Structure 1
Amino acid sequence: MRPTQRLISTFALVATLGGLAACGPEDAGYGGGSGGSSATAEPSHKPTSSDDAGAKPEGSGDCGTPPKLPAGHRRVEPAVPPAKGSLSAKDAVPVCTPNDWIYHGRGKAKYYLFAQDVKAELATGSGASAKSVPVGELWMHAGDCMTNPGAVKAPYSCSGNIYDITLDSHGEINYIKEIWHP
């Protein structure tokens, strides 16, 4: 029985150390050579949604109060490259990291259609800098960031794969903007 207890203890220690080794800015999904895909690492704490802005996530560190989006806005992370006229995306919630709040997709992907008169914007650098583009260009950009980040040319970059959207009265996306994050 003694060797079994040692084996279980060793396994628990290795699992714990493996979980700790996965924490760090390079694994947070917004840097490195992976093109900024936020699917590279899961944070070790439970995030809150923008609806729970008063709640403090477990292990949230020094980030302060989670960001609150303007009424009618939501953040999403595409689950697969967008297709003409549709987007399959997970709700993105704020997660406190050592470098402040960033968004990560959580839960099951939802299926969205694009409205006929959708306004699309791509991030062109830090802050709120963005350029209006035809929605087809945004679809191609999002797909390239997910599958071939090297294909993305300046002034654009793959900056986290998070998009701010609004929906019209039919539940279709009528506004979509890439959110820049270093």
Structure 2
Amino acid sequence: MKTTHRFISALALVAALGSVTACGPEEDTAAGSGSGASAQPSEKQTAGGASADKADGTGECGKAPKLPTGHKMIEPVEPPSKGSMSAKDAKPTCTPNDWIYHGEGKAKYYLFAEQVKAELATGPGSTKTVPVGELWAHAGDCLTNGGAVKEPYSCSGNIYDITLDPEGKVKTIKEIWHP
């Protein structure tokens, strides 16, 4: 009876240990990650050399985010001045930290509408409405002197969600928070 009890206990222990290692992420001991989680998404190469994750908008991150109609993401390339800014269109890229927007291509010149709703990020999912001049100063500081930015704000990626009026002028601009 004692031998049977030991055998069943040993079998239960082996089964429990097997299920712990089977359910966890695979460790990459060759890379020495030690955390067990891959730090980079797997990218499958297409015939043109681009990753399949970017080519079809899916991959480790899932489907690329879709902006609401009339919205566009931009990345300023120089500090905005009164009434105007130069910015690149920002496109989503799959990273180990989910989708991140990055400016691509040639910068475009934008004028601001007479009345602009401006918002600065104050953390994940929260913003504060500010005068557009304060947003211009903030964006400029983030581009040239990040240390000048004071809490509750931070330089969180330099990406802004904008909408344009019928004349093509910026009517809303909201900083996108990113850790």
TM-score normalized by structure 1?
Answer: 0.68
CA offsets 1:29-72 (integer angstroms, 9 cap, x no match): xxxxxxxxxxxxxxx85986xxxxxx625xx6410100000000
Return the alpha-carbon distance in structure 2 between the equivalents of residues 121 and 139 of structure 1.
11
Return the alpha-carbon distance in structure 2 between the equivalents of residues 164 and 46 of structure 1.
26
| Corresponding residue of 2:110 | 112
| Corresponding residue of 2:74 | 76
| Corresponding residue of 2:161 | 164
RMSD of aligned Cα (Å): 1.9
Return the alpha-carbon distance in structure 2 between the equivalents of residues 156 and 110 of structure 1.
26
Q: Which of 112, 121, 124 pairs up with 1:123? A: 121
Return the alpha-carbon distance in structure 1 between the equivalents of residues 56 and 149 of structure 2.
36
Which consecutive aligned stretches of 4+ in structure 1 deviate over 4 angstroms post-superposition?
44-48
1:177 aligns with 2:177: no
Query: 3-state DSSP class of the match of 1:146?
Result: helix
Q: Which of 84, 91, 114 pairs up with 1:86? A: 84
Q: How does 1:1-182 map to 2 (within 5 A)?
A: 56-57=56-57, 61-127=59-125, 129-182=126-179
Return the alpha-carbon distance in structure 1 between the equivalents of residues 160 and 82 of structure 2.
17
Larger Rg, first or second structure (1 or 2): 2
Structure 1 counterpart of 2:130, which letter? V
Name the structure, 1 or 2, with higher relative contact order (CA <8 Å, separation 6+).
Answer: 1
| Corresponding residue of 1:21 | none
Structure 2 counterpart of 1:117, which letter? Q
CA offsets 1:136-180 (integer angstroms, 9 cap, x no match): 000000000010000000000000000000000000000000000
Return the alpha-carbon distance in structure 2 between the equivalents of residues 46 and 106 of structure 1.
19
Q: Unmatched 5+ residue regions in structure 1?
A: 1-23, 26-43, 49-54
Structure 1 counterpart of 2:150, which letter? K
Q: Unmatched 5+ residue regions in structure 2?
A: 1-38, 41-49
TM-score normalized by structure 2?
Answer: 0.69
Q: Identity, % of aligned pairs?
A: 70
Query: 3-state DSSP class of the match of 2:135?
Result: helix
Question: Structure 1 residues 169, 149: CA separation in 2 closer, same or farther (over 3 Å shift)?
Answer: same
